[in-house]
Amino acid sequence: MLTIGVLALQGAVQEHLDCLNLLPDIKGIAVKKTAELNTIDALILPGGESTTMGKLLREFNLTPKLTEKIRSGLPVWGTCAGMILLAKNIVDEPNCHLGLMDITVRRNAYGSQLDSFSTTALIPEVSRTPLPLVFIRAPYVEAASPDVKVLSTVADKIVAVEQRNMLATAFHPELTGNLDFHKYFAAKVRNKN
């Protein structure tokens, strides 16, 4: 049995927990406190508002322990705002949040017209069939260092990346009813153990 936490300070927490709990041999738990970081095999940083989540991470003093855990190999998956939390650089912003992934992200990158949209894409590492992708005031990755693996691009913009124990998607698999991304993350966690 694997325990996968979902950072539960703000955002689409329950949707990820519901997906995790549909998978065999996975228990999804909400994580709010530093001590809970010791009880999990992996962590999802959900979508929401990165500024708010970053502020709460600092207020609850979660940042140091969380950063240390991820640096020492805790598998982590950031969706949308979660991707922004992981990025080392955020366009037009002086500070990053956790600053762990060698990517530069642009927040709200699709402007007002394409604020929210859905599309499909084939991501061979994750699924044999095209996956539904839901973008909600989404970022994209503007630059990535050479050791970041690009898993998916949509209209020439990087929207899914992986670097060592870290996975990040600009879109929201937890809102699609398709569990392939959660299965992919669970397999990544299992392969590590």
Known binding-site residues for L-glutamine equal 48-50, 107, 136-137
Choose, from 16, 97, 172, 182, the residue flagged as catalytic. 172
Smallest distance from ligand GLN to CB 49, Å: 5
The two tokens of residue 147 are 């050791």
40 or 81: CB nearest ligand GLN: 81
Smallest distance from ligand GLN to CB 55, Å: 11
Annotated binding-site positions: 48-50, 107, 136-137
Choose, from 80, 96, 97, 182, the residue flagged as catalytic. 80
Smallest distance from ligand GLN to CB 19, Å: 16
The answer to whether residue 172 is catalytic is: yes
The answer to whether residue 182 is catalytic is: no
The answer to whether residue 16 is catalytic is: no
Task: By CB under 6 A, name the binding residues for ligand GLN.
Answer: 47-50, 80-81, 84, 107-108, 136-137
Radius of gyration (C-alpha) of the chain in whole angstroms: 15
Active site residues: 80, 172, 174
